[in-house]
Structure 1
């Protein structure tokens, strides 16, 4: 009887000890464990496949010690999951009320939204990588969960490459990881496939849920024979949804240091702008102990009353520095700086345009020329019937402008031909379009121009005497008769129908005598008008059309266009002032005939086009110039352009009788990449055939793996002997990495620009 009582007491005690602890110590948590022990009033022990759950929070461990109602210690294969976030550790101290805690020898994954997509060239560029992840993998000796998506990591790191073996990671002594906001690292080291690549004492990394995130950008490494080695760093600040700012710092081993900023905004409604400023402090190199700057930008704003304002600036303080530092060959070879703005709109039926601009081009480092408008106000009346139902149309144009034209040496004006001009020009036009195969457009215009200064015809000196120039122009533009033939080719593999048109044309224009022509200070096209002559521009246009099936619809498109034209002048001197031809021959013997101009345009398919142009001298019957260009575009994955130009030697023709002043160039540009942008490259070159020299060549390539990528660029140029190019030659190399979710950028000097990373 005593044995039975003892056994019953033991069973009751066992039942009391193994009561479900969630009902006593963790009242709001579901608890599952192989063994549950009550060690005190608020103290318990769970062992064997422990799982506690509340909402989307689950904690797994081999053993969980319950210290009180809020604090537990989990050991052995600890795993915490909250939604899509997960932490695994050897040991954890966890608060069941706040759901925060500390994890030791831990690693985890947290969800993060995709980062910013690709942006314009020479700005912030975050590539679209193949298989780009949207999670952050992190690890550390100690990981403290101090917020719902905020962690403090000690002696650890993180990566957005979530693979069994991440291809890259950022490690640091202390990391504050704030998912959907930012990550702050101290003493950070970037490693790619376990190899340390670079060190940063402090790094701010964006993990923002927005599509634009504030943070540091991946540096770009470069090397140049002129500037030495270089490192470009960038920081991107997303001010708000319509504004951002990029700060950059460049270090050059043989030059000095540069700093810059790019501000962009887009407030909607067609109002946007970009402003980029860069300054270089040179201690060594071509321009030692000097500071220079460059400002580029543009703005476009909608104003009240159907007006719009625009502004632009492309200005540098030193042409030598501009050509030395600028990596983009097109910008580096540019010898012009300019700035300006205009306001345009409609007022009382008139178009109004107010403009201010200043352009300065350099022949070398000390001599330059300046042109511009300071300011210009243009008013025009669009063409409309002279009266209701009239077949005659009236239009009106006029302007008042202060024209700037100076020659400068060492910033001192050596020749100033600036003046003010008032211009007024009404026009009447009578179109005859009764027959579709024969049209005539006739017009008569009168022009009155007032100048505040004039030339001395004998000496060419600009005088302070004003001048009033008046003349009229009468002309007709005749097209036809037009001859047309159509072929139906239903069995043709290229097109189901072809059409050929032959369009002869004749443009007759009579300009009255301008008695003071030799007294006009010639600055722009308004001033370069030769009077007392009649011109006959004649030629023929051949057009070939093909009706092809593009998709589901058949469309007619022009596939071949061939135009031949020439102009005859009753006064041979007029050939020297006709701006319709690419090359004027001022200084050569006058002739009544202009060069024969040939233009050919081929577009056999939307992917292929080509142009050929040539000018043949009418007196010597020899080619003056010829150029050709062809482009190929295959589904935007392969884009190639090849160009060729040549100015020919003509012994007795001024401007063509000096072989050293002629040119002969071949250019090529190719851009290719895979459809998923996994790898690709850019190759360009410019070759001087006359000097048998490669002017410039550029090779860029990129490769994107699943979580990281690499891009490089190599440039070589040699402009020795080319006018206006002061820096003769340079060799350049650049290297940049791409990491999933981490932005890179193109430095302001043009390196890596256009590389489709």
Structure 2
């Protein structure tokens, strides 16, 4: 017989525990540990206050005495709101306002599930005690045991003689055993006393007191340390400390001891400026580098800020400075990589409207290891206006700027530049193709102060340059269904052509302030500029012809793409980056009747094999100007084999003003040995120098509850000469090191380990190993 009781008043306390689970989504659903019982589904609408107070009791049999006791036996189910108690036996004492239950006891709510030997709930004090408890956080990995689990009147949770883990209960790789754990439901943090960390059944650490997060709230405390050893820094031990100052401020302080150099400290302060602005401050410091003779203090300071003031105003700022040129080469900074040798300092504010925007910017670039310093932008004001389809489908645009160029060295020329660029264009688009006609007027004025002191300098105090530009670009789209190798495809063919005319004017009387050569590739064939910046605008009278064809399979997935094109010069351009007859020793681009033939290809060779490459070939001189190719085998997630090659001749070395050739080949691999163990490695070889430039090998094991990575790195170093550095301080050309990272998930670790970041670790990142910055 089943008997149901529905009471209007609550007879049970609010057995609500703190939200002790980290509310972030677990990416691997296989790691979610399910309790041994089905999730509890509330019987009533929890948004209704009356239903929240309603109690339902179901049992096979019952004995009740009004106002005193009610006994329930057999498959007892006691539900109230979002909570449910199931047991073999339950006694409801209305005089003592107490509920006792035992026998196959299960306590559940929307947050957690607990099995226990017995339960006693006291309604006067709003408390409950469960003995012999095992608990699981619903939808999470956290689970554990407790000899006694107590829910206090403040809805806090006290666990005695307890443990917890994020591993499966049947095979816990690690456990945190504690004499007592208190979980505060208000602060949503756990306090642990007299604990020890057990890994693989072996105690490895004793912790008299610690705190851990049980939700997504932040709290001060130590993060997991990391260990490494290298030929340059020796043994490194890094122990971060996190300080949760306020909801909108926090700070991470990381002392990093290096046996070869000393104590290196890193401090990061983060802040929120309202709902839409954020920023951070970094300070790094190493006093008296033991590896350098008479070393000065080495330091870095960095500030960045970005965000929106309101729906129209945007701000951005960034500033970084270091004590010496080799700072990033020698020390593991949190701000930039060892391959970065430029630090951009910028401050910008912009106001946006639908059809126009105005902005102001200051900029300074510090280049490490080079004597020549770039110009500073102090300041630049821009105004842009857009009027699409302003008259019969004609688009009108106006781009303008006024920029002041200053320099830290007094013997460099300075200038103020005003540039106004109105344009009108008439685009016609359709399924069969498109054609866009555009006319621009490029008006630039310079006011220059020539401080170079060169007798043959051609710089003029005032220069006005007016250049017309006409550009017509058209493309035709063809499509057909075809069959290759007994497979159906949809093939597209898109020939395109462009005519570009830019007027000529002698520009040798203008200095070089922010202009450089643009890198050549297939897409660059259709640019309307040969140089970045505005100090040189190359004259042009040329046609560009290009062709792109693609293949799509039956699932509309692109499996092949090939593009080829070339510029045909009707007249040779007479504008070079520098005047050929000037005293400036710099790279000058040669003029030819046509550009190099540029081609790009990307294709799925077969099944999981992919090929990509690009080439620039000078047919007139029969010379290879640039080649980049890679072959990938990607049969599945985190499975990769790649080989690559790149060749770039006559690349300018800005330190020596000499041209060098780059000829390198590389191998990269990532492969799972089993479900949790991966091996990752890469090797890049310089064919000109007949030496390895980088070798990386790493093993990573990751389970649901912990991860470990052991890696070896050997790479070439970019060493610069620092001012005042003793000559007898020799620097290694190559650096090698062994690195160990260990994360126990669920104990507030500083992050997770992944295969993707190992592929990006090093001088050559995956998917961009052939990237070349001229």
Q: Same fold (TM over 0.5)?
A: yes
Q: With CA pairs under 8 Å and 6+ residues apart, which has the higher RCO, 1 or 2?
A: 1
> In the TM superposition, what is the alpha-carbon distance from 1:190 to its structure 2 partner?
1.8
How far apart are the structure 2 equivalents of 1:742 and 1:356?
A: 44
How far apart are the structure 2 equivalents of 1:585 and 1:472?
A: 28
User: Residues 263 and 440 (structure 1 numbering): CA distance in 2 closer, same or farther, change over 3 Å?
Assistant: closer
Question: C-alpha deviations, 1:217-271, integer Å up to 9, x for none?
Answer: 433333333332213335374965xx67462423324221423235365976xx3
User: Residues 401 and 168 (structure 1 numbering): CA distance in 2 closer, same or farther, change over 3 Å?
Assistant: same
User: Residues 588 and 186 (structure 1 numbering): CA distance in 2 closer, same or farther, change over 3 Å?
Assistant: same
Q: How does 1:530-609 map to 2 (within 5 A)?
A: 535-550=540-555, 554=556, 559-567=561-569, 569-570=571-572, 573-574=574-575, 586=586, 591-593=591-593, 595-604=595-604
| Match in the other structure for 1:117 | none
> In the TM superposition, what is the alpha-carbon distance from 1:602 to its structure 2 partner?
1.9
SS in 2 for 1:332: coil
| Match in the other structure for 1:343 | 349
Question: C-alpha deviations, 1:643-682, integer Å up to 9, x for none?
Answer: 43223379xx999x999833222345555669x9844454
| Match in the other structure for 1:353 | 359
SS in 2 for 1:523: coil
- Which of 468, 478, 493 is equivalent to 1:473? 468
SS in 1 for 2:329: helix
| Match in the other structure for 2:145 | 137
User: Residues 690 and 344 (structure 1 numbering): CA distance in 2 closer, same or farther, change over 3 Å?
Assistant: same
| Match in the other structure for 2:508 | 517
How far apart are the structure 1 equivalents of 2:731 and 2:278?
A: 32
Contact 1:633 1:640 in 2 (8 A): yes
User: Residues 602 and 751 (structure 1 numbering): CA distance in 2 closer, same or farther, change over 3 Å?
Assistant: closer
> In the TM superposition, what is the alpha-carbon distance from 1:509 to its structure 2 partner?
2.0
- Counterpart check, 1:494 vs 2:487: yes
- Counterpart check, 1:380 vs 2:384: yes
SS in 2 for 1:323: helix
Question: C-alpha deviations, 1:531-553, integer Å up to 9, x for none?
Answer: 7xx53434432222334321xxx
User: Residues 543 and 28 (structure 1 numbering): CA distance in 2 closer, same or farther, change over 3 Å?
Assistant: same
Contact 1:136 1:162 in 2 (8 A): no
Q: How does 1:35-184 map to 2 (within 5 A)?
A: 82-83=107-108, 84-86=113-115, 98=125, 108-112=133-137, 133-138=141-146, 146=152, 150-152=156-158, 157-161=163-167, 163-164=169-170, 166-172=172-178, 175-178=181-184, 181-184=188-191
> In the TM superposition, what is the alpha-carbon distance from 1:334 to its structure 2 partner?
0.8
Question: C-alpha deviations, 1:335-389, integer Å up to 9, x for none?
Answer: 111232333344594332322222111116xx4624442221111222556x743
Question: C-alpha deviations, 1:686-729, integer Å up to 9, x for none?
Answer: 43232233323334443233543333333222226799997743
| Match in the other structure for 2:419 | 423
- Which of 172, 192, 201 is equivalent to 1:194? 201
How far apart are the structure 2 equivalents of 1:178 and 1:259?
A: 32
How far apart are the structure 2 equivalents of 1:21 and 1:435?
A: 81
How far apart are the structure 1 equivalents of 2:647 and 2:168?
A: 56
User: Residues 746 and 698 (structure 1 numbering): CA distance in 2 closer, same or farther, change over 3 Å?
Assistant: farther
Question: C-alpha deviations, 1:598-654, integer Å up to 9, x for none?
Answer: 12132449987654333445774422332234566656544666543223379xx99
User: Residues 458 and 310 (structure 1 numbering): CA distance in 2 closer, same or farther, change over 3 Å?
Assistant: closer
SS in 2 for 1:574: coil
How far apart are the structure 2 equivalents of 1:69 and 1:437?
A: 85
| Match in the other structure for 2:735 | 730
User: Residues 154 and 417 (structure 1 numbering): CA distance in 2 closer, same or farther, change over 3 Å?
Assistant: farther
SS in 2 for 1:303: coil
Q: How does 1:276-675 map to 2 (within 5 A)?
A: 277-282=282-287, 284-286=289-291, 290=297, 292-295=299-302, 297-301=304-308, 303-304=310-311, 306-313=312-319, 315-326=321-332, 331-347=337-353, 349-363=355-369, 367=371, 369-382=373-386, 384=388, 388-389=391-392, 394-406=396-408, 413=409, 415-429=411-425, 441=437, 443-454=439-450, 458-459=454-455, 466-477=461-472, 479=474, 488-489=481-482, 493-503=486-496, 505=497, 507-514=499-506, 517-524=508-515, 525-529=532-536, 535-550=540-555, 554=556, 559-567=561-569, 569-570=571-572, 573-574=574-575, 586=586, 591-593=591-593, 595-604=595-604, 610-616=611-617, 620-629=621-630, 636-638=637-639, 642-648=643-649, 661-670=660-669
Identify the range of structure 1 (247-256 vs 230-239) with the bigger mean alpha-carbon deviation.
230-239
SS in 1 for 2:505: coil
How far apart are the structure 1 equivalents of 2:642 and 2:585?
A: 31
> In the TM superposition, what is the alpha-carbon distance from 1:331 to its structure 2 partner?
1.2
- Give the number of equivalent residue pairs: 653
SS in 1 for 2:553: strand
> In the TM superposition, what is the alpha-carbon distance from 1:319 to its structure 2 partner?
4.1
Identify the range of structure 1 (335-344 vs 436-445) with the bigger mean alpha-carbon deviation.
436-445
How far apart are the structure 1 equivalents of 2:387 and 2:632?
A: 38
Question: C-alpha deviations, 1:536-594, integer Å up to 9, x for none?
Answer: 434432222334321xxx578862222233546435x535569xxxxx99556954446
- The structure carrying a bigger strand percent of its residues is 1
User: Residues 52 and 558 (structure 1 numbering): CA distance in 2 closer, same or farther, change over 3 Å?
Assistant: closer
Contact 2:254 2:265 in 1 (8 A): yes
User: Residues 744 and 432 (structure 1 numbering): CA distance in 2 closer, same or farther, change over 3 Å?
Assistant: closer
SS in 1 for 2:554: strand
Contact 2:357 2:383 in 1 (8 A): yes
| Cα RMSD, aligned residues only | 5.3
User: Residues 601 and 341 (structure 1 numbering): CA distance in 2 closer, same or farther, change over 3 Å?
Assistant: farther
> In the TM superposition, what is the alpha-carbon distance from 1:742 to its structure 2 partner?
3.1
Contact 1:308 1:344 in 2 (8 A): yes
How far apart are the structure 2 equivalents of 1:232 and 1:377?
A: 45
SS in 2 for 1:518: coil
SS in 1 for 2:337: helix
User: Residues 145 and 563 (structure 1 numbering): CA distance in 2 closer, same or farther, change over 3 Å?
Assistant: same
How far apart are the structure 2 equivalents of 1:421 and 1:741?
A: 57
SS in 2 for 1:218: coil
Contact 1:649 1:658 in 2 (8 A): no
How far apart are the structure 1 equivalents of 2:754 and 2:733?
A: 19
| Match in the other structure for 1:8 | none
How far apart are the structure 2 equivalents of 1:232 and 1:470?
A: 59
Contact 1:171 1:188 in 2 (8 A): yes
User: Residues 149 and 730 (structure 1 numbering): CA distance in 2 closer, same or farther, change over 3 Å?
Assistant: farther
How far apart are the structure 2 equivalents of 1:628 and 1:585?
A: 33
SS in 2 for 1:512: coil
- Counterpart check, 1:713 vs 2:719: no
Contact 2:158 2:183 in 1 (8 A): yes
| Match in the other structure for 2:770 | none
Contact 2:362 2:379 in 1 (8 A): yes
How far apart are the structure 1 equivalents of 2:458 and 2:742?
A: 59
